[in-house]
Amino acid sequence: MNDAIDFHTSSRLSDCRIITLEKHHHENGNLSVVESGNELPFSINRVYYLYDVPGGVERGGHSHRQCYEFIMAVSGSFSIEIFDGAERRTVNLNRSNCGLLIVPGIWRVLDNFSSGSVCLVVASETYNEADYVRSLDEFMSLTASKRK
């Protein structure tokens, strides 16, 4: 893993943003496309999705050291709270052609899943447990310089 950049000290909430995918409307349904280097500022190396999330349950609760993620509500809705160690913001996703780009070094918690919702995650890295910061205490330590 490339540790040359310490994203936990340099990433800010302003680095995260909503990306609206182009909607190709057809009489028989709409189509939106996600391609490496076009809609997303990273190469796609992993795609996964969350579904059948029970009411009141949170997902996420971690940050990444190197991985970028683009998170979409392809069906239904949910909220994502993002935190850079100094600032917090909540983003509600409920349109299947919009998603949130989350840069490395940002803590995220997904919650408020509607019934039948499907969360699609497009990631820049394959799964690597060493890329995760799963302890909020460790995250707060890594981002301490943002609060000085």
Indicate whether 20 belongs to any domain. Answer: yes
Indicate whether 2 belongs to any domain. Answer: no
Binning the chain into helix, strand and coil, the percentages to the nearest 5 are 15, 40, 45
The domain in which residue 131 lies consists of 7-147
Q: Is-contact 10 84, C-beta < 8 A?
A: no
The verdict on pTM exceeding 0.85 is yes
Looking up residue 35, the CATH number of its domain turns out to be 2.60.120.10
- Residues above pLDDT 70, as percent of the chain: 97
pLDDT tens profile 49-73: 999 999 899 999 999 999 999 999 9
Number of domains in the chain: 1
What is the reported pLDDT for 4? 56
Q: What is the mean pLDDT of residues 29-48?
A: 91
Indicate whether 106 belongs to any domain. Answer: yes
Indicate whether 1 belongs to any domain. Answer: no
Q: Which has more confidence, 18 or 35?
A: 18
